[in-house]
Amino acid sequence: MPSAPRAPLPAPGPTRPFDIALTTLAPAVWGSTYLVTTELLPPGRPLLASTVRALPAGLVLLAVARGLPRGAWWWRAAVLGALNIGVFFYLLFVAAYHLPGGVAALVVAVQPAIVLLLGAVLLKEPIRPAQVAACLLGVAGVALLALTPRAGLDLTGLAAGVAAAVSMAAGVVLTKRWGRPEGVSLLTFTGWQLTAGGLLLAPVTLAAEGLPARVTAANISGFAYLSLIGALLAYAVWFRGIGRLPALAVSVLGFASPLAATVLGYLVLDQGLTALQLVGAAAVVTAAALAQASPGPRAGLPPDGPSPAPGRNTEPAVKGKP
């Protein structure tokens, strides 16, 4: 039986400046996570922060779109929701609570290198020297941004940051490989993953942390920002970018996150900027430009990778679509 059709994909070709600029907004917003976590959220509650960030936004999107997965997309949405949302959010917040924002961003910045390796295996994309150079230059730039004399190291935070990078990298590559089912809107697709990730986190949150005895107005504003802006809006933009740009090009745009964290630290927390940090910022921008200039997918393959094998995913993609 033929496989279920996927959503029409843009034809291979040069990446468009608008797609790049719009996709960059997502990691730039995520760069504010470190500031919001330390300044507005209850201390020592990474699971609660992760759950409140993901689940309300996902449920809102599902209520609006009214589209549920079918067939293979039930488990695919669960896997993508775990990698892109549930597991990644938790590990990111653990890193944010244990490390200075810039250091946490530096550790997570190994993600493009992991995407490069996974892309070679799962997407059959060759590794090119320009791509390796973009990854190395980006990590070096983040290091110059983050490793100030006041930067501290914590083994728990470091381990969580590396694991978060692996989780998100796997999510990016699998999202690229599987694409998006035909007839499923971008917001519905985003809602599936946010809800799956939030449902994965909710029982663990209640068992391990419970609910806070007191919630302040600052806590509520922080949670609202992370859920509506940091999750609903940012992830819709991010998944759109994954569908339109090469996997590595999207991942390298993630370097905008530590850059945004550094700028916010300067503007909001009155942290100084050194000459080396300015050099690091220039290196990050150069790395992103270098990755966008690298050749895209091979001729004959859609940007989202190979189509599913015939005989799989034979059920309709969506249930309850109005």
Q: What is the pLDDT of residues 76-113, one digit of tens each?
A: 999 999 999 999 888 877 877 777 666 766 777 788 88
pLDDT over 60 (residue 313) = no
Read off the pLDDT band of 149 (50, 70, 90): low
| Residue 132 domain-assigned (yes or no) | yes
What was the pLDDT predicted at 295? 53
| Residue 304 domain-assigned (yes or no) | no
pLDDT over 80 (residue 16) = no
pLDDT over 50 (residue 296) = no
pLDDT over 70 (residue 174) = yes
| Residue 309 domain-assigned (yes or no) | no
| Residue 48 domain-assigned (yes or no) | yes
pLDDT over 90 (residue 317) = no
Q: 239 or 272: whose pLDDT is higher?
A: 239
Average pLDDT, whole number, for the chain?
79
Lowest pLDDT segment from 83-87, 193-197, 274-278: 274-278
pTM: 0.76
| Residue 273 domain-assigned (yes or no) | yes
Domain that holds residue 258: 17-295
Count the domains in the chain. Answer: 1
| Residue 1 domain-assigned (yes or no) | no
Show the tokens assigned to 181: 């089912």
Percent of the chain with pLDDT over 90: 20
The label of the residue with tokens 């910022």 reads 281
What was the pLDDT predicted at 97? 72
pLDDT over 70 (residue 306) = no
pLDDT over 60 (residue 177) = yes
246-262 pLDDT, tens digit each: 888 888 888 888 788 77
| Residue 12 domain-assigned (yes or no) | no
Lowest pLDDT segment from 41-45, 103-107, 291-295: 291-295
| Residue 95 domain-assigned (yes or no) | yes
What was the pLDDT predicted at 139? 82
